[in-house]
Amino acid sequence: MKTIDYYFWMNSDWAYLGADRLEALAVRQQAAIRYLPVDLPDVYSRTGGVLLGQRSPERQAYRVAELARWCTKLGIHVNPQPAHMCPDAGLASRIVIAADRAGTPVLALYKAILKAEWVDEQDISDPAVLRGVLERLGLPADRLLAAAEDPVVDAAYRRNTDDAVKAGVFGSPSYVFRGEVFWGQDRLDMLEEAIAAAREEA
């Protein structure tokens, strides 16, 4: 089975927009997805990226316009400037990693956390907010919150971030297939073409 290394930030509005299409792509192409949350501010610091709040007004305005276009195109709503925008995503990331390590399918979980921020105006750095997300999904909140504090899980989070930089990743979401980086949910068609071509070669 072909494998997609999916590097994403738990504050990424663009990852939210691309989540379902990535999953559908993987089903069509019979590909596996490795879900790899990263510390994007750390990635930026090592690859020349600039956090949103530090970008020029022109770049910030274009982001809002582009988000509106994609939301219309996909029929998905996000608030481009939510009440709690891009808080510390460490705990949310470690919860996703812990759930994945426990064998829990993580698509619904990471989507629900992103929705909490970008649609429901919630602070995803707040353990109470994350507990609420887990409970609504019927997941073992106490166990996953405790597992998120395990040094092994934190080490996996750090390793994801290091591996992302080594792979050439500099933004979220990024999809790596056979060493080739596809940055952004607007590159999913190109990712699918690459996987389809690899299947034909096999």
1 — pLDDT class (breaks 50, 70, 90): confident
Residue 106: predicted pLDDT: 96
C-alpha R_g of the chain: 16
pLDDT(202) > 80: no
52 — pLDDT class (breaks 50, 70, 90): very high
Mean pLDDT score of the chain = 97
Cβ(2)–Cβ(32) under 8 Å?
yes
Residue 201: predicted pLDDT: 79
Residue 199: predicted pLDDT: 80
pLDDT digit string (tens) for 21-45?
999 999 999 999 999 999 999 999 9
What is the pTM (predicted TM-score) of this model? 0.96
Classify each residue of 105-127 as buried b or exposed e, where b means 16 or more C-beta atoms within 10 Å of its C-beta: ebebbbbbbbbbbbbbebbbbbe
pLDDT digit string (tens) for 81-105?
999 999 999 999 999 999 999 999 9
pLDDT digit string (tens) for 123-163?
999 999 999 999 999 999 999 999 999 999 999 999 999 99
